[in-house]
């Protein structure tokens, strides 16, 4: 039994753009978010309240938040790494703060130079600030499906962190496949382990297509009953350990798959593809999205316009 309806979260303007070397102007970021909103996306990770010195691309988080359309029903989420980021995010009136920790000590150390315990203590501070401002908190666990330093991550290790987030009041959680190490059996196994231990935790899956199995992992998630996925327009973003490798699962490819499976998303695929086609000019290089290039499945061509090909 697959879910009848799925929430598609766009992370391109944060997870995608943060690794782009060219600074995307604030007005272009705002236009991109608005195009996604108008296409029917209802949760967007708009930006990140990290240190502008650490991630210059995200230095305009407050201006982007102030400039975007905020229709009712849109969840404008932002990543917050610590209490300082949470205070800035609250001031910018985000709907949701996304706070993160890695599934392994090595990755957490490499990512934020803290132990997991230290990150979870910071998480508690973020949650308190969010509560004071009546803002939702969404947890995220990086390298949940595999770690570039430690390899396979035991499910029990992830479940233990989920338990600690649960104890902090978190009920919305993203499992991040940060470097694209998930496979369908790993996705199935981890989802089941978390559902068994914490049935009231609402899980969102964030896959990368680094090794070409991003949408296969989504299928495994759907079969496990997961009804929430994160992706990026045009497949924006990369893998920090594999230069040139594909990053996030592509939003319009994901929406195409879901619609073809008879699953509702509330998203207008044509509008999404139109927005995706503007992404390459924005970042100055090709992006890996496939439906944006091939068009819908039932696209018709005039017969004389097709070059003859054999094989
Ligand atoms: Mg990602």
* Residue 121 and residue 110 in contact, taking contact as beta carbons nearer than 8 Å: no
Please give the mean pLDDT across all residues of the chain: 95
Q: What is the pLDDT of residue 1?
A: 86
> Could you report the per-residue pLDDT of 211-235, keeping only the tens digit for each?
999 999 999 999 999 999 999 999 9
Residues labelled catalytic: 239
Domains of the chain, earliest start first: 7-305 (3.20.20.70)
pLDDT tens, position by position, 62-112: 999 999 999 999 999 999 999 999 999 999 999 999 999 999 999 999 999
How many whole angstroms from 16 Cα to the centroid of ligand 1? 7
* Residue 22 Cα to ligand 1 middle (Å): 18
pLDDT above 80: residue 242? no
| CA of residue 309 to ligand 1 center, whole Å | 37
Q: How far is the CA of 147 from the centre of ligand 1 (A)?
A: 14
Q: What is this structure's pTM?
A: 0.96
Ligand 1 midpoint to CA 68 (Å): 22
Residues surrounding ion ligand 1 at CB below 5 Å: 15, 248
Ligand 1 mean position to 303 CA, how many Å? Answer: 40
């Amino acid at each position: 039994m697959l879910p009848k309806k799925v929430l598609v979260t766009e992370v391109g303007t944060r997870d995608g753009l943060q690794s782009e070397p060219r600074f995307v102007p604030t007005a272009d970021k705002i236009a991109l978010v608005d195009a996604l909103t108008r296409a029917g996306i209802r949760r967007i990770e708009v930006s990140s309240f990290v240190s502008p010195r650490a991630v210059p691309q995200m230095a305009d988080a407050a201006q982007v938040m102030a400039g975007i359309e905020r229709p009712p029903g849109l969840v404008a989420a932002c990543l917050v790494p610590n209490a300082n980021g949470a205070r800035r995010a609250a001031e910018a009136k985000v709907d949701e703060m996304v706070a993160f920790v890695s599934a392994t000590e090595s990755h957490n150390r490499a990512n934020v130079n803290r132990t997991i315990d230290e990150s979870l203590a910071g998480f508690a501070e973020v949650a308190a600030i969010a509560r004071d401002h009546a803002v939702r908190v969404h947890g995220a666990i990086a390298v949940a499906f595999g770690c570039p330093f430690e390899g396979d991550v035991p499910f029990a290790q992830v479940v233990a962190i989920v338990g600690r987030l649960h104890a902090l009041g978190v009920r919305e959680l993203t499992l991040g496949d940060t470097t694209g190490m998930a496979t369908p059996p790993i996705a199935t196994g981890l989802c089941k382990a978390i559902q068994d231990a914490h049935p009231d935790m609402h899980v969102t899956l964030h896959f990368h297509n680094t090794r070409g199995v991003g949408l296969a992992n989504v299928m495994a998630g759907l079969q496990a009953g997961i009804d929430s996925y994160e992706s990026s327009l045009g497949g924006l973003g990369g893998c920090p350990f594999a230069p040139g490798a594909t990053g996030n699962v592509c939003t319009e490819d994901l929406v195409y798959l879901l619609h073809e499976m008879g699953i509702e998303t509330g998203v207008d695929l044509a509008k999404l593809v139109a927005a995706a086609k503007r992404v390459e000019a924005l970042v100055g290089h090709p992006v890996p999205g496939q439906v944006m290039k091939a068009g819908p499945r039932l696209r018709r061509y005039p017969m004389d316009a097709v070059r003859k090909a054999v094989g």
